[in-house]
Amino acid sequence: MADKVTIATVAAHANVSRQTVSNVLNTPHLVREETRERVREAIAVLGYRANQAARLMRTGRSHLLAVRIEPTRDGINGSVLDRFLHGLTEAAAPAGYRILLYAAADDQAEIATYDDLLATYELDGFVLTSTHHGDVRTSWLAERGVPFVTFGRPWGRLGADARTEPAALSGAAGSHPWVDVDNAAGTAAATRHLLDAGHRRIGFIGWPEGSGVGDERRAGWAATAGADLPELARATVDGVAEGEAAAHDLLSISDPPTALVCASDSLAAGAYGVAPPGVAVTGFDDTAVARVLGLTSVAQPLAEAAARCVDLLAGVLDGGAAPHPVLLPPSLVIRQSA
């Protein structure tokens, strides 16, 4: 095991002061070309890498970003977080950041964790997922000036539509940097696909009102599907059994729908299981379950979303500029279910 190579080792090797080595790394233009090269060679030869702890003590920058890892609920949508985490990790590395994981049972526990992580590890920033109406986490972080990005737009007060709220979309005061996938566009694309296939009565199975994401997904369907909307929509908590029940219910009305747009692959899996042949079903998230069942599903560009989260956070941290929010388009993966 080679001895520890510090900035002093490099300085000695290159016959300069420690400070000059630091300058070569951080403000190279201040160092004469010839010296710079000599130092760089010493760095390469010795395999020197700056110690983050020492750097942190001076600069207050840990180059660490934290993200919460949630427990996999029914596991169907769990892989979404998994892919997002992988994208985050891959995008962070070239930008000079690492990803730290934390778990928290609820928002309050999560805030306590922020406090702890900031105090002990001086985290540079947070990536929040699963944002919701009246999220206390964002206000806590904002109040303290802690940099963060959310994957999921700020939902503000209950019932407000972000697309009609200039403040949220522009990232103006009171808001914060965010990256989101256009959920409404996703269900709209699925609905359009069904219309193109000749379906005229298209139902929707989603979640109870109040979850921003769920409301968006329903809105995309509603804006595209046509008339008679309320009677063609059912709301339920997420789950396969719940999807079965809702589909059963919807298909039992007079003049039933011939196609069902679902807010998740869990619901779609249930619906697809009870739907008679000819009734089309679409899901959301393009999970492994959708692939195996042959469910047409809306795919979120998770790697891209993660990369943009890192971009935004790095922008705040390095540039200081308030970055523009990012709204990414989903895509429809067509399989045999629709």
Partner DNA sequence: TTGTACGCGTTATCAT
Partner DNA sequence: ATGATAACGCGTACAA
Q: Is 247 in the site for a copy of itself (CB under 8 A)?
A: no
Smallest gap, in angstroms, from Cβ of residue 273 to a copy of itself? 8
Cβ count near 151 (within 10 Å)? 24
Select from 260, 289, 312, 326 the one that contacts a copy of itself (CB under 8 A): 289
Q: Which of residues 8-27 bind DNA (CB under 7 A)?
A: 8, 16-20, 22-23, 25-26
| Pairing mode, strands 331-333 and 296-299 | antiparallel
Q: Is 41 in the site for DNA (CB under 7 A)?
A: no
* Residue 36 interface partner, choices DNA, a copy of itself, none, CB cut-off 5-8 Å depending on type: DNA
The count of chain residues that interact with DNA, using the rule CB under 7 A, is 26
3-state secondary structure of 329: coil
Distances (CA, A) of 68 to 65, 84, 95, 167, 251: 10, 11, 20, 26, 39
Select from 25, 50, 95, 322 the one that contacts a copy of itself (CB under 8 A): 50
* Contact letters for a copy of itself, residues 51-90 (x by CB under 8 A): xxxx-xx----x-x----xxxx-xxx-xx-xxx-xx-xxx
Q: Is 293 in the site for a copy of itself (CB under 8 A)?
A: yes
Select from 41, 44, 45, 51 the one that contacts DNA (CB under 7 A): 51
Select from 59, 72, 108, 170 the one that contacts DNA (CB under 7 A): 59
Q: Is 304 in the site for a copy of itself (CB under 8 A)?
A: no
Torsion-angle region of 309 (φ positive above 0: left; ψ -120 to 50: alpha; else: beta): alpha
Which residue's CB is nearer to a copy of itself, number 1 or number 227? Answer: 1
Q: Is 31 in the site for DNA (CB under 7 A)?
A: yes
Cβ count near 65 (within 10 Å)? 26
* Contacts with DNA, residue ranges (CB under 7 A): 4, 6-8, 16-20, 22-23, 25-26, 30-32, 34-36, 50-51, 54-55, 57-59
* Contacts with a copy of itself, residue ranges (CB under 8 A): 1, 5, 47, 49-54, 56-57, 62, 64, 69-72, 74-76, 78-79, 81-83, 85-86, 88-90, 93, 98-103, 116-117, 119-122, 143-145, 240, 269, 287-289, 291-293
